[in-house]
Chains A and B, each alone.
Chain A
């Protein structure tokens, strides 16, 4: 057995400084680099050495006793009231949008976790839609919250397909439209909330934007960049330019013949088509690595540091690059959502993908075959998200599909817990009675017991999860690592 220990020696003097010294102390290999600090305080090394010698035996004895001890096995303390049930806290909707039969295409929580926004549009419209749509926000912490009256309603001339709140500025929200444009709204402005837009230029996407993400800008800390993903095969990064315009900073294009195929996968006849990208998720530990899901059913590992140029014909102001590095084993239908696990250690790089085949695949980025392949339901899965607090939990939104030869539309939010079962969901929440596929789910990062789900009837339900979904167990990370290291044939 081995123990991981870290040692810190401290003095009790009132000077702010940091000194590093080389006393002969029994420690494990110190991993941090020696840092040069200005020495403003003199440490009496001989007395320090005397101190360390004095306590060394006692501490080593305690350390040894500890890892042999079984005193605390199974000992758990409950600090919070255990919440046993899953409740629907709020049922939010915008009646005008519902009258127009609009569906909730995307939900997003803001940086403080108190405001939820949803976008109304249509996910089943196949043609160029010129229907007006709406972006609505509700502040759940306000008293006098009226679930039928959003705090803010923004009219949008085209269908909004995806939303993302800014990760640190609570009032900025970006949306991707059916027309391929991106718009950023500032919800604190009472006049015109639009502050940035891409407009329709040669650079804009030619297909609907299915996902929009905020990227931290390494060079200018106050400015974030926007990333958009569309079925025209392009992944574009936008920066703020003058006059409220968003200009293209860099971009990537997925072309079929540039996707690396490992010999273990069946060969597909890709042709020269652009590969439609439906979803994207950034790795939480390597900011240049991201996973995309495409219409062909593949998930691909990509890098922003890719240098090869994409072979695409349409011109754009910034040269587009081909980012794909590895293709993972495909689903039996288009991939609608990918999500990278926020829990990581050195060798633990996991992500989930889901699609129309009703399956969720758990992949390690190190191998093409999935670690676990779950047939969650017979219906399409529209969205999958890892829990921000429990490494073994994820949520998936299901909807239309064929079950028992009849086309059924009931939508569920499935909560899966690898700790409890690796075959079936720990909990399936029925969003509503009747026909309504659930199109999107988002966990609230600040208030981790909340989960928002938007469905086809135009309703957003905020669910409060029970305590077993919000409290991390003592050995979850170890279980996750064990799961990740199992290799499937």
Chain B
């Protein structure tokens, strides 16, 4: 994916964009393989340090990284 707008630095953005685009495609194909009538609407990845949320679309991808304060 090619970054259009970001609030992070350049290199981190490019890294996130590339890796998460691939992951989103994989997640989407997983959902459709299980049920061809279904499709991916939202993807969330929870890690030790933060949560990554991805809203996918035909042409665009919105990625938000949140630090949930407990």
Q: Is B23 an interface residue (CB 8 A)?
A: no
Contacts of B21 in A (CB 8 A): 10, 12
Please tell me if the beta carbons of B62 and A67 are within 8 angstroms of each other in the complex.
no
Residues from chain B with a CB closer than 8 A to the CB of A4 are: 66-67
Q: Are B13 and A12 in contact (CB under 8 A)?
A: no
The CA-CA distance from A28 to B6 in the complex, in Å, is: 11
Chain A: minimal CB distance from B3 (Å):
5
Q: How far is the CB of B57 from chain A (nearest CB, A)?
A: 5
- Asked if B61 lies at the interface with its beta carbon under 8 angstroms from chain A, I say yes
Shortest CB-to-CB span from A460 to chain B, Å, is: 33
Within 8 A of B (CB), among A1-37: 1-13, 15-21, 23, 25, 27-28, 30-32, 35
Mark out the residues of chain B between 35 and 54 whose CB falls within 8 Å of any chain A CB in the assembled complex: 42, 44, 46, 48-49, 51, 53
A66 touches B48 (CB 8 A): no
The reply to whether A3 and B7 contact each other, CB–CB distance below 8 Å, is no
- List 5 interface pairs A-B (beta carbons < 8 Å), by A numbering: A8-B8, A9-B63, A12-B2, A17-B2, A20-B4
Task: Please report the C-alpha to C-alpha distance between residue A58 and residue B56 in the assembled complex, in whole angstroms.
Answer: 11
Known: A12-B21, A15-B2, A32-B7. A3 touches B69 (CB 8 A): yes
User: Interface stretch among A47-55, A119-127, A175-183, A257-265?
Assistant: A47-55
Number of interface residues of B (CB under 8 A): 35
Nearest CB of A to B8, in Å: 5
A residues contacting B by CB (< 8 A) are 1-13, 15-21, 23, 25, 27-28, 30-32, 35, 41, 43, 47-48, 51-52, 54-55, 58-59, 62-63, 66-67, 69-70, 72-73, 76, 472, 474-475
B-chain residues with CB within 8 Å of residue A67 when the two chains form the complex: 66, 68-69
A9 touches B4 (CB 8 A): yes
Contacting residues, chain A, for B70 (C-beta < 8 A): 70, 73, 475
* Cα(A31)–Cα(B5), bound, Å: 12
Q: Which residues of B contact A11 (CB under 8 A)?
A: 1-2, 4, 59-61
Q: Closest CB-CB distance, B17 to chain A, in whole Å?
A: 5
A-B pairs, top 3 by smallest CB distance, nearest first, are A10-B1, A55-B55, A8-B63
Task: List B contacts of A18 (CB < 8 A).
Answer: 2-3, 10
B7 lies within 8 A of A7 (CB): yes
Closest A-chain residue to B57, C-beta based? A51
The distance in angstroms between the C-alpha atoms of A488 and B36, with both chains bound, is 63
B8 neighbours in A (Cβ, 8 Å):
6, 8, 32
Q: How far is the CA of A67 from the CA of B13 in the complex (A)?
A: 23
Instruction: With a 10 A CB-CB cut-off, give which of B6, B67, B69 has the most chain A CB atoms.
Output: B6
Given contacts A3-B69, A5-B66, A58-B42, contact A47 B2 (CB under 8 A): no
A31-B12 Cα distance, complex, nearest whole Å: 14
B51 cross-chain contacts in A, Cβ below 8 A: 66
Query: Which of A21, A472, A474 contacts B4 (CB under 8 A)?
Result: A21
* Contact, CB under 8 Å: B62 / A7: yes
Bound CA–CA A51/B57 (angstroms): 8
Complex CA–CA separation, A73 to B42 (angstroms): 22
CB distance from B52 to the nearest CB of A (A): 10
Q: How far is the CB of B50 from chain A (nearest CB, A)?
A: 8
